[in-house]
Structure 1
Amino acid sequence: MRLNLNFRIKSMKRLTTTLFLLLGLAVSNCDQLGLNGLNPFEKDKKENDAIALAFLALTGGASPTKENFLITYANIAEKNYSDAYTAAVSFQTKVNAFVANPTQTGLNELRTEWRKARVSYLQTEIFRFSNGPIDNKEVVFETISGESKEIEPLVNAWPMDESYNDYLVTNGIVSKAALLPANEQEEATADEPTESAKHVSVGWHAIEYTLWGKDNATSNAVTAGQRPLADFVSSANFANRKTYLKSATDLLVDHMTILKKQWSSTDSNSYYYKFIKDADGKSLDSVLRGIAKFAYGEWGGERMSGAASGSQEEEHSCFSDNTKNDFYYDATGFENIFTGTYSGSSVSPGIGLGSILTSEEKTATLKNISNAKLFCLNEHDEDTSLNQTCANGTISYRFDQVIVASAVGTTQHTIFTGTIQTSVKAIGKTIQSAAKRFGTTIEDSGLNL
C-alpha cells in the first residue's frame, strides 16, 4: 500500500474536526445545549453528561473500561505497525529501483517516499517506553555479537555523527552484517558540542543523511540538505554509498517486520496477546508510564529542546527539514490513542484513553493536542504538491528559522516554545496525575529520559 501524505493529513483533519465538533457541542455551545441560565453546579453536571455522550458517540457504545482501552490500544498498534511496515517496503522498492538506475528524478521521488514512510512510523512512537516490542529487549531483540539489543535504536536512533557515516562509506563498511555492530557507539564531536553524537549506522536518520546530506546550518540556509546525484553515480565511493543505502533500508524493513509480527492479532505467540491478556496486571501501568515519559521527556523534552538551545544541530530531522512532520505526527499518534481511532476511523472497541479520564482531563488534553499540531507542513521541496496552505498561528516558516529565532522566525519561535512545547509537556503531566486513579504513581523522575 502506498501512503499518500495528503490523504493522511486530510483524514486526520476530518477526525480532529469531528471530535472537536462533538466536544464543542458538549462544552462550548452552551446556548445550543440549553446550559445558559443554569446555576454553576447544574451547568457543570450537564456539560459533563454531554461530554460523556460525545465520547459514547465516538466509541459506538462500548463500555469505557480499562480492559476495552487496552484492546483498543493493541488494535491501533497492530494497524499502525502494519502500515509502517508496508510503507517501509514501499520505500525499499523505490530504493532498489534507484540503486539500479540513479537519476535526479529518482532521487527526488525517493526523498518524497522517505517522507511518506515516516508518516506511519512517527505515529507508532506513542508506544515507546511502555515495555513493548519497540524498546524492551526482553520482549523482542536483535542479537548482535552475542548481545541483545533493543529494536528502537536500530530504527530511529538520534542524534547522529555525520562524519561517522561518511567514514563507513569511505571504508566500505556497508553490508547488512557490518552495519549492525557499527550502530550506537557514542563519541563527542564538533557537530554536537552539547551532547555526545552517536555512531548511528542504521535506521531512518542514517538513511535520511544518505539521501539529503548535511544541512547547511552555519549560513541559516532555508533549504534541506543538498546531496548531489553525483554522490550516487560518479563521486568517490559512489558504489559504496548505493550499497549503504540498500543495506540500511533492508535492515529497516527487517526490523519493521519484527515489530509488525509482535503486534499481530493473528499470532497467538505475539506480544499482542500477552498485552491484552494482562496476566500480571501491568499493561495499563506500562502504557501510562510510557505515554507520560514520551510526551514530557522525549517528544516535548529532548526533541524540542533544540528550539530553546538555538542550535540547528539539535533539530530532530535536520538533514531533510522534516522536523515539523515529526512533531505533527507524534501528536497524531497520541491523538489516535486518546480518541480510540486510527486513520480517521474508530478502532474496535473504540475506547480511547480519553474515555477513561475525567471530563476535565479530556477537555484539557484535547486543547493540548490541538496546540501540539500547530504546524504547517510545507517544506516538501521534492514535491511541492504535498505542501499545505498555512493558517495564521501555525509554524509556517522552515524549522531552521524557528530554532535560531531569526528576524523572520522570532514570533514563531514564541509559538513553538510558549504554546506547542508547553502543551506537549502538559500532556505528560496530565497523564502523570491521572495515573494515580489507576494505582500508578509516576515520579517526576519517571517523566524524564
Structure 2
Amino acid sequence: MSAHFRPIARKPLAAAIALSVALIGSAAQAHEGHAHDDRKVSAEAVVDQYANVAHATYSDALASANALRAANAALIEAPSEATLAAARTAWKQARVAYQQSEVFRFGNAIVDDWEGQLNAWPLDEGLIDYVEGDGYQAELGNPGASANIIANDSVQIGADKIDTTEITPELLASLNELGGFEANVASGYHAIEFLLWGQDMHGFEPGAGERPASDYAKGEDCTGGNCDRRGAYLLAANDLLINDLEYMVGQWAQGDKDNYRAELTSLPAGEGLEKMLFGMGSLSLGELAGERMKVALEANSFEDEHDCFSDNTHYSHFYNAKGIQNVYEGTYVTLDGRTFEGPSLHALVAQNDPELAEKMHEALDTTMGQLQVMVDTADAEDGMKFDQMIAPGNAEGAEIINASIEDLVAQTRLIEEIANDVGISGLKADTADHEF
C-alpha cells in the first residue's frame, strides 16, 4: 500500500446527503434525457465524461472526509454521546461518495494500487485498540493481531521493533500489511469505523458496535485506557484519508498535463471504453456479487461483512452498484444535489443497438431496485441488517442476497455484450475466482 503525503488543506463541510431513493430518481431522469437526445456521441466524449464523473465523485469523497475530520475533532474536544453520534453520522455520509467511486478501481491501476490504504477489509482490529476475546476472530498466525498500537509505544513483529510513540499518518501507512498479513489494516475507512463503533459483539443478532463516548474522555473519565492516544489515532487516520483523497482528486482533474486523466484521455478511445466496461463488470461480478456478498453468505460469516462494526453494509453495497450505474449513464448526483451529466455509454450503445442499450439500462434499474429492498429491509423498524441476513437458516435474508447476486451477474453479462458491441472483443469481467 503506497502513501501520498502532501500538506493537508482543510475543505468546507460536505453538504447533506441525498437519499438513496432520490439518487435512483435522478438517474432515471438522466436516462430520459439521453433517450430524447438525438445528437451523436463519440467514444472520446464518453471517456472524457467518465473522467468528469470520476473527478466529481472523488471531490465529494474528499469533502465528506473533511466533514468527518471536523466531526471527529469535535468528539475529541468534547466527548459525549451526541458528539459520538455526530461523528458516526459523518462516517456514514463519507461512505456514500467513496463507495460510488469504487467502479474506477478496476481497470485503472493507479486507483487499484491506491485503494487498499483507504478501504482494505476485513481487518484484525486488535492491531489498533483493545478487543474482547470472545468477540474477536483474528487471522490465524497474525503476529500483529494483538499489537494494540493505542496502548503501546512500540510494536514487536519478529525481530523488528517499531516505535509507535507518536501516532502520525506516516506511521499508520507504514503499518498496513505489517508482517505480510493483509488483515493488518492500520488506516482507512474501516480503521476509523472501528474507532467510532468498536467491536460488534452481537454476532447474527441485532446491534452494531457500542463503543462509549467515554473512550475519548479526559482524565479519570476515560474508559478503555489511553484516550488521548485513541484520539490521536482517530485524527491521524482521518488526515491520511484526506491526503489520499486529495491525491486522487488531482489525478482526475482537468488541465493537468501530467496526471492520470491526461494519460487516460490520450489513449485510443477504445482502450478507455475497455477500462470503463472492465471496471463496471469486475466490481459488479467478482467484487460485489462475489467477495462482498457470496463469501459472507456461503460462509455464514459476519467477519466477512464489509462495514462490520457499524452495520452499514447495506448502504455500501447499494452505493457500489450506484457507481456502476453512474458510469453507464454518464451521470453523477453530488452530495448537495447537483447533477453532472454528459455523453454516456448508454447513448453510444444506443446509436448501434437501441435494444441492447435499453436492456442494460433496465438491468441496472433492476439491480438498484433489488438493493433498495436490501436497504429498506435493513432500515425498517426491527429491520434485518446484512449480518443478520447471512445468519445460518435465515431463508428470507438469503433470498434477498441471492436475488441481488443474480441481478449483478445478469447485468455483468450485458456489460460483456456491450463491450463487443462497441468493438472490444473477448472482454471478461474479473470473477475473483468465484463461480456464478
Q: What TM-score comes out, normalization by structure 2 length? A: 0.79
Aligned residue in 1 for 2:10: none
Aligned residue in 2 for 1:35: none
Aligned residue in 2 for 1:177: 170
Q: Summarize deviations over 1:144-193 as a string: whole Å, max 9, x none.
A: xxxxxx32111111111122222121224332221111002477xxxxxx
SS of structure 1 residue aligned to 2:111: coil
What aligned pairs does 1:290-305 form with structure 2 within 5 A after superposition? 290-305=279-294
What aligned pairs does 1:28-427 form with structure 2 within 5 A after superposition? 55-57=34-36, 60-135=37-112, 150-166=113-129, 167-172=148-153, 173=164, 174-185=167-178, 198-218=183-203, 220-233=204-217, 234-235=222-223, 236-278=225-267, 282-305=271-294, 306-343=296-333, 347-348=340-341, 350-357=342-349, 358-373=353-368, 374=370, 375=372, 377=375, 397-406=384-393, 409-417=394-402, 419-427=403-411
Aligned amino acid, residue 403 of structure 1: I
Alpha-carbon distance between aligned partners in 2 of 1:319 and 1:16, rounded to the nearest angstrom: 30
The total of aligned residue pairs comes to 376
Alpha-carbon distance between aligned partners in 2 of 1:405 and 1:292, rounded to the nearest angstrom: 29
Contact 2:41–2:348 (8 Å) recurs in 1: yes
Aligned residue in 2 for 1:14: 25
Alpha-carbon distance between aligned partners in 2 of 1:379 and 1:95, rounded to the nearest angstrom: 29
* More deviation, 297-306/94-103: 94-103
Alpha-carbon distance between aligned partners in 1 of 2:93 and 2:73, rounded to the nearest angstrom: 17
Contact 2:44–2:269 (8 Å) recurs in 1: no
Deviation for aligned residue 1:208? 0.6
Aligned amino acid, residue 391 of structure 2: V
Q: Summarize deviations over 1:239-272 as a string: whole Å, max 9, x none.
A: 2111110100000000000011111114333222
Contact 1:62–1:351 (8 Å) recurs in 2: no
Deviation for aligned residue 1:328? 0.7
Residue ranges of structure 1 left out of the alignment (5+ in a row): 23-53, 136-149, 188-195, 381-386
Aligned amino acid, residue 345 of structure 2: L
Q: 1:159 to 1:74 in 2, by over 3 A?
A: same
Alpha-carbon distance between aligned partners in 2 of 1:364 and 1:286, rounded to the nearest angstrom: 21
Deviation for aligned residue 1:197? 5.6
Residue ranges of structure 2 left out of the alignment (5+ in a row): 1-12, 130-147, 154-163
SS of structure 2 residue aligned to 1:432: helix
Aligned amino acid, residue 428 of structure 1: T
Aligned residue in 2 for 1:191: none
Q: 1:323 to 1:207 in 2, by over 3 A?
A: same
Q: What TM-score comes out, normalization by structure 1 length? A: 0.77
Identity %: 28
Aligned amino acid, residue 202 of structure 1: S
Deviation for aligned residue 1:446? 3.8
Aligned residue in 2 for 1:38: none
Contact 1:289–1:442 (8 Å) recurs in 2: no
Alpha-carbon distance between aligned partners in 1 of 2:39 and 2:262, rounded to the nearest angstrom: 20
Deviation for aligned residue 1:360? 3.9
Deviation for aligned residue 1:107? 0.5
Q: 1:378 to 1:175 in 2, by over 3 A?
A: farther
SS of structure 1 residue aligned to 2:54: helix
SS of structure 2 residue aligned to 1:216: coil
